[in-house]
Amino acid sequence: MNSILAIPGHRPESTGNVADAGKKTSEYPSVRIMRAPAATPAPAKPVTPASAEKPAAATVAEKKTEASSGADSAPKDRAAKAAAQMSDVAPIGPPAAKEGATQADADSGLLIPDTSLGENIDGDDEVQDTKAAKGRAGRKSSSFANLTPRQEVYLGAICRQIAQNRFLPTPTQDEVFVGDGDYLAIGAEFLGHFVRLGGLKPTESVIDIGSGIGRMAVPLTQYLVPGKTRYLGIDPVADGVKWCQKTITPVYRDFRFQTVDLANELYNPEGKVAGDSWKLPAKDEEFDFATMVSVATHLPPAEVERYCSEIFRVLRPGGRLFMTAFIVRNAEELAAPKCDPRLSGLVREKDKPCWHLRGENPMAAVGFDEGYLESVLAKAGFALLRKGFGAWHGDKSPHYQDILIAQKPRRSSK
C-alpha cells in the first residue's frame, strides 16, 4: 500500500531549493510551518518579569502601529508574528477559561481559550479572502469559519507551537503504522481545519473515529479546555490505541482511547465486529464534534453508511461531522496530468458507487462517486454545511483529501 493514500495532510510541492533540503513542510491557511532537522538547543536565557511581559507589549505596540498607519494587514501576517513569540520548549495545555475573561485579556498577551472560536459557521467554502464576511463589532473575519483577526492570531499561535514542540507526545517512525509526513505538523494543520472549516470550539467534546496513533489527538490536547471537554479516540488497531493510552492519557486525563475489533481488509482482517452493523461505544448525544479523517478512504459503502448513522446518534443537536474522502468527479480527471498519479489507478466497482486501486487491496484507497457521500449524510439526517475538493485532484487547495462537513440539526426528530 502506498502510505500517502492513508494520510490526509497537504503536501506543497518542493521548491527544489537545495537550501530547503531536509526541512519538513506543512501548510494550512494561516501559518506556514518549516521544521528544520533537530539540532542541539541553545542554553535558555533567564526569564525576568520585564522580558516575560515583552511579547504582550510588543503585540500592543504592533496594533497601535497598524491603527496609526491605517494598514489592514492580512490575518496570516499577524498570526505569524504572534506565533514567533510562542514558546516551543515545553508542552502547554490551554488553561481553564477564566470567568469574566474579556477580549482585552486575550489581546494583552494572555493565552486564554477563546471560547468564541468556531462560531458563525459560514456554509460557503468558496468565499474569497478579499470578500470575507464581517465578524462581530464590524471586524473582518476569515473566509472559513468567520474567525476574526484576533482569533486567527490565537489559532495560528497554537498551531505553530504544536508543530514545533518537541516535548509533545510523538511516536517513533517505526511506531507509525499509517500515514507519512511530519506527525506534529500535519496534526497542527488539521487542528486548523477543524476550527476554520468545522467550527470546533475549545469547549466542545470530540469523538475521533479512526484515531490511529494519536495524530489528531495530540494537537487537540493543546486546544480543548481541560475539565470542560472530553475526547474519545476509537480505532481497530490495538497497538496504536495502546500507545495513546500509555503516552497521552496519563498526561491529559480528558483523553481516552478504545480499541474496537472492527473487521477491515486492510487494517484488521481478523476483526470480529462487522463494520456495517457495529455500534459506537458512546451514549446518544454525548459529543459535539466527530472526525473521520482518512477513514472513509478505507471503507466500503455499507460501512460508510453505518458510520454516519452512528455518528449522527452520538452527536448533540448542532454537532458537526468532519469527514475526508476521495471523491471521483469523473473518470477522465484520473488520467489528467495534474491529478495525483498514485490515484490514477482507481477503477469503479461494477454496479457500486465506489472506486478501488487496480491491483491493490480493495481497502487501500477507496473513492466514491460525486454525490454519493452527500446522499449518505442526508439519509443519516445530516445537513451538509460545506464540501471542498482537495489537492489530489490537482486543484489548488489547503488540504490533500476532499473534505465534507455536515451538521446534525439543532432540533431533530431522530
Cell of 153: 492570531
Cell of 48: 525576568
Rounded CA gap, 63 and 82, in Å? 12
Q: Which of 241, 270, 243 is nearest to 258 (CA)?
A: 241
What CA–CA distances, in Å, run from 87 to 6, 44, 100? Answer: 32, 11, 26
Q: Which of 305, 311, 326, 316 is nearest to 369 (CA)?
A: 326
The answer to whether the beta carbons of residues 356 and 365 sit under 8 Å apart is: yes
pLDDT at 265: 86
Sign of the C-alpha dihedral computed for residues 77, 78, 82 and 88 taken in this order: negative
pLDDT at 206: 98
**235: number of Cβ within 10 Å:** 25
Q: List Cβ neighbours of 8 (8 Å cut-off, separation of 6 or more).
A: 186, 190, 293, 294, 324, 390, 399, 400, 401
What CA–CA distances, in Å, run from 223 to 160, 188, 229, 282? Answer: 12, 10, 10, 22
Cell of 283: 451514549
Query: Taking the mean position of all CA atoms in its chain, how far away is CA 366?
Result: 20
Rounded CA gap, 133 and 148, in Å? 10
The phi, psi pair for 259, rounded to 5°, reads -85, 130
Rounded CA gap, 50 and 144, in Å? 37
Query: Taking the mean position of all CA atoms in its chain, how far away is CA 97?
Result: 22
Rounded CA gap, 382 and 123, in Å? 14
pLDDT at 100: 44
Put residue 371 in one of left, alpha, beta given phi > 0 → left and psi -120 to 50 → alpha: left
DSSP sequence for 398-411:
SSSSEEEEEE--SS
Q: State the DSSP H helix or E strand holding residue 380, giving kind and residue range, or none if neither.
A: helix 372-380
Please name the residue that has the C-alpha cell 504572534.
82
Cα 165-160-250 angle, rounded to 5 deg: 40
167 burial level (CB within 10 Å; 0-12, 13-18, 19+): exposed
Crossing angle of the two packed helices 301-314 and 372-380, in degrees rounded to 10: 40
Q: Helices marked H in 149-237 — which ranges?
A: 149-164, 183-196, 217-221
318 burial level (CB within 10 Å; 0-12, 13-18, 19+): middle
212, 258, 297, 177 alpha-carbon torsion, rounded to 10°: 30
pLDDT at 137: 36
pLDDT at 245: 97
Mean pLDDT by 10 residues, the chain (414 residues): 39 39 35 36 46 42 43 43 35 40 37 48 36 36 63 91 92 73 91 95 96 96 95 94 96 96 86 88 97 96 96 98 97 94 94 94 94 98 96 93 96 55
